[in-house]
Chains A and B, each alone.
Chain A
Amino acid sequence: DGGITQSPKYLFRKEGQNVTLSCEQNLNHDAMYWYRQDPGQGLRLIYYSQIVNDFQKGDIAEGYSVSREKKESFPLTVTSAQKNPTAFYLCASSRRLAGGRYEQYFGPGTRLTVT
């Protein structure tokens, strides 16, 4: 899916350090999302934002923080309070279309390893 970039692809950190994952989209989508995926598991929602300067907690927000200062950007900070931060992090963006449909795309993801 084009238009959403996440960097870096792989990230390694020591335990106790905060780390920020970037997500940028050029699709002019209003809503942006962060999901976490563990091996063999589905996607769990961390945070989402429907509009600039506003965001809501998802199902597993503890230990994470976000900001949405620009429409194009939705960075995720994994804090030292997150007990099991090693995972595959996926950013997505969407916009509502006519007829109850949505256009939603995922970025390529960042694989975070914390040791």
Chain B
Amino acid sequence: EIVLTQSPGTLSLSPGERATLSCRASQSVSSSYLAWYQQKPGQAPRLLIYGASSRATGIPDRFSGSGSGTDFTLTISRLEPEDFAVYYCQQYGSFITFGQGTRLEIK
């Protein structure tokens, strides 16, 4: 099983600031198999990034993904009020696993 560890657990920032979220895998993950999701309270997760760096349809360009091997990053260049949510990374290996999430909260 590939374990995904996200850091930090909680990130406190202000609107307009830059957010950098990390996802580290216990084994190497193909970039094609790494995705990021945003989840707001009471809602299903929303796909943001797939293939480590491709934005999903309709996702603003302030969201970007990067990384390879065991280290992946989600960056939000300038935080908007609607970006404060929980973010999950997900990989597809022998079976699918998710990270434990990073909560992005307003400072």
Do A and B truly interact?
no
Q: Which residues of A contact B (CB under 8 A)?
A: none
